[in-house]
Amino acid sequence: MRKTTKATYRIFWRHLRPYRRFFWLAIAMAVIGTLIDVATPLFYKRFFDILASGGPIGAASGALLVIILEVLGLHTISWLTSRVSFFVVIFLELRVMNDLTNTAFQYLHGHSYGFFINRFAGALVRKVNRLASAFEGVGDKLYWDLLPLVLRTTLILAILFAKNTLLGAVMAVWAAAFMAINYALTMYKLNYDIQAAESDTKTTAHLADTVTNQANIKLFTRFQEELNSFRKVTEDNFQKHWKAWKLGGTIEAVQAALTTLLEFGIFYIAIQLWTRGALTVGDFVLLQAYVLQMVWRLWDFGRIFRQLYRNLADAEEMIEILETPHEIQNRPGAPALKIRQGEVAFENVRFSYHKGRDVIRDFNLTIRSGEKVGFVGPSGAGKTTLSALLLRFFNLPNGKILIDGQNIADVTQESLRANVALVPQEPILFHRTLMENIRYGREGATDAEVMASAELAHCSEFIERLPDKYHTLVGERGIKLSGGERQRVAIARAILKSAPILVLDEATSSLDSHSEALIQDALGKLMRGKTTIVIAHRLSTIMRMDRIVVMRRGEIKEVGSHDRLIQNPQSLYKKLWELQVGGFIK
């Protein structure tokens, strides 16, 4: 058994264990129901033996009536156990599926920022959904199919051996051969089922990627190319499923041949035994009932295992994520970050996304409490990476970042991020109301506090024009709002959060000049008394910063105020300033 499959069963059992009383109740009902099913043909054997005995009709009819009543009683008990089993299993599966989904949600969101930027959101959602549905499939196969199959086969073989050793041996050899051949073929087919499941995921991810970028497809008139690319993906999906299904057809053909062989062989032997007086007419009825039960149950043996392993393959995609350690973890016993002044220090920081290509190189900078520092430089200079490192979205392999002397790697991630407010370059909103999106900055904020933050960020100007005002749904990722409106909502959220350390990453990049002028005042109020990092390409945004840090290729090239840097004719900042102010005109 593969390592991931063992992990799947372990995780399934861990979520089932809290409900083990219901689990054992369901097992007891299954055992009782199977015992009754196997015992019932014994009563019919007696029934037909009495019919064939040729005794007095009056005595025989009374005995036959007793047998019918006994069978009725057995069927009544079987009906009751099946009803109990049904409701208990449904409850168990729904509870465990719910718990598995919550576990997947919790663990998935514990992964690092880097984990998510390397994976499709649609594929991750599909894996979470498959985990819960896979448990239902595995539970159904084990409880409704495999458990009764094992119990029924064991009991039938025991009865047949007790009746006639030859019949029992023939049935046992056939059952062992049938299961062994089916299992071998099923395991061979498993690899194709796994490939088919992986192909399904790729198809979904490809589709999700094109849906997300549907505007780009239209803008660059690339529909035909995307359609051709998607057809290749779906054709590959078809080929993998076709191979798996062809193997499935072959397995069923083998099963049919083995079943025909059993029916001929077992009844040929039974006729020989009957001619010697070793079997009665009732024994033929018993044998026929047991052969039908064995064939009926074992016919599905291969299908049960194929479906079981297909469900396991579906689950294992998410199990691999659950078994992958979180890249960013709190150290055991890590304390919460305690902000006294809000001083931020970068000491010998070196970082790279890809081996051999440093994005940040030997970076040293101290930002004093309450100081406002702007970061500028060409694209790729590492400015946004610094903010990601400050929030500990990535582990820092070299150097350290200190806040009031506390290494951020030694404190809890939750306390760190609770004390840093970020307004990103591309704010992404929940598909919820404006009120809920702004309130995300501080849980428990009143409606009045939310509206006050929105007023400061000049959100009210567009919110009041909406039909549902603050109760307007903004669409997935905030698509119903313009880029500038989304940034104003993000600023309102930061205002409401009111963290002692503030990071503005191109916070006004999507605003027009009029809106930017309005928000500059709001940002001024937001930055008051806070240690502030402002990342901007538009230099007008950072003119009033206490210090400006000019970066290039992950290193600090210049540090100083706007007035000081602009006076240096060799300054990179001066060149960037002249380019923005008048370079395009020249």
Q: What per-residue confidence (pLDDT) applies to 586?
A: 41
Of the listed ranges 52-66, 74-88, 122-136, 400-414, the least confidently predicted one is: 52-66
User: Residue type at 123?
Assistant: A
- Higher model confidence: residue 242 or residue 512? 242
CATH number of the 342-419+502-510+533-586 domain:
3.40.50.300
Whether 581 has a pLDDT exceeding 70, the answer reads no
Mean of pLDDT over the chain = 84
Q: What does the pLDDT average to over 217-234? A: 87
| 199 SS3 class | helix
Q: What per-residue confidence (pLDDT) applies to 380?
A: 77
What percent of the chain has pLDDT above 70? 95
Q: Are 439 and 459 in contact (CB under 8 A)?
A: no
Q: What per-residue confidence (pLDDT) applies to 55?
A: 64
Q: What per-residue confidence (pLDDT) applies to 243?
A: 83
What is the C-alpha separation between 130 and 143, in angstroms, rounded? 20
pLDDT one-digit tens code per residue, 313-349? 788 888 888 888 888 888 899 899 999 888 999 999 9
Q: CATH class for domain 3-323?
A: mainly alpha
What is the C-alpha separation between 409 and 581, in angstroms, rounded? 41
What is the C-alpha separation between 403 and 340, in angstroms, rounded? 9
Same CATH fold, 342-419+502-510+533-586 and 3-323? no
Q: What per-residue confidence (pLDDT) applies to 270?
A: 75
> What is the residue whose two structure tokens read 């009932």?
289
Domain regions of the chain by residue span: 3-323, 342-419+502-510+533-586
- Higher model confidence: residue 127 or residue 91? 91
Q: What does the pLDDT average to over 379-393? A: 85
pLDDT band at 127 (very low <50, low <70, confident <90, very high): confident
Give me the count of residues in the chain. 586
What is the C-alpha separation between 328 and 341, in angstroms, rounded? 26
Q: What per-residue confidence (pLDDT) applies to 585?
A: 40
Cβ burial of 419 (10 Å; 0-12, 13-18, 19+) is: buried
pLDDT one-digit tens code per residue, 145-154? 889 888 988 9
Of the listed ranges 216-220, 301-305, 319-323, the least confidently predicted one is: 301-305
- Higher model confidence: residue 54 or residue 451? 451
Whether 302 has a pLDDT exceeding 80, the answer reads no
Going by the DSSP 8-state scheme, the letter that residue 334 receives in this structure is: P
What is the C-alpha separation between 219 and 422, in angstroms, rounded? 31
What is the C-alpha separation between 383 and 363, in angstroms, rounded? 11
What percent of the chain has pLDDT above 90? 19
* Total H helices, total E strands in the chain: 20, 10
Vertex 112: Cα angle to 109 and 113 (nearest 5): 100
Q: What does the pLDDT average to over 406-417? A: 91
Neighbours of 422 (CB within 10 A): 22
Q: What per-residue confidence (pLDDT) applies to 412?
A: 92
Which backbone phi and psi does 344 adopt, to 5 degrees?
A: -120, 130
pLDDT one-digit tens code per residue, 50-64? 887 766 776 678 888
> What is the residue whose two structure tokens read 């404190």?
411
Neighbours of 146 (CB within 10 A): 17
135: enclosing H helix or E strand: helix 121-140
Which backbone phi and psi does 396 adopt, to 5 degrees?
A: -100, 110
Going by the DSSP 8-state scheme, the letter that residue 428 receives in this structure is: -
pLDDT band at 511 (very low <50, low <70, confident <90, very high): low
Whether 583 has a pLDDT exceeding 50, the answer reads no
Which backbone phi and psi does 9 adopt, to 5 degrees?
A: -60, -40
Q: What per-residue confidence (pLDDT) applies to 3?
A: 62
Q: Are 550 and 558 in contact (CB under 8 A)?
A: yes
Whether 1 has a pLDDT exceeding 60, the answer reads no
Dig out the tokens for 249 from the structure.
Answer: 């057809």
pTM for the full model?
Answer: 0.73
What is the C-alpha separation between 11 and 14, in angstroms, rounded? 5
| 296 SS3 class | helix
pLDDT band at 518 (very low <50, low <70, confident <90, very high): low
Q: What per-residue confidence (pLDDT) applies to 461?
A: 83
Whether 507 has a pLDDT exceeding 60, the answer reads yes
What is the C-alpha separation between 223 and 242, in angstroms, rounded? 28
Whether 242 has a pLDDT exceeding 70, the answer reads yes
- Higher model confidence: residue 180 or residue 187? 180
* 485, HSE (Cβ side, Cα atoms, 13 Å): 17
Dig out the tokens for 227 from the structure.
Answer: 């359609």
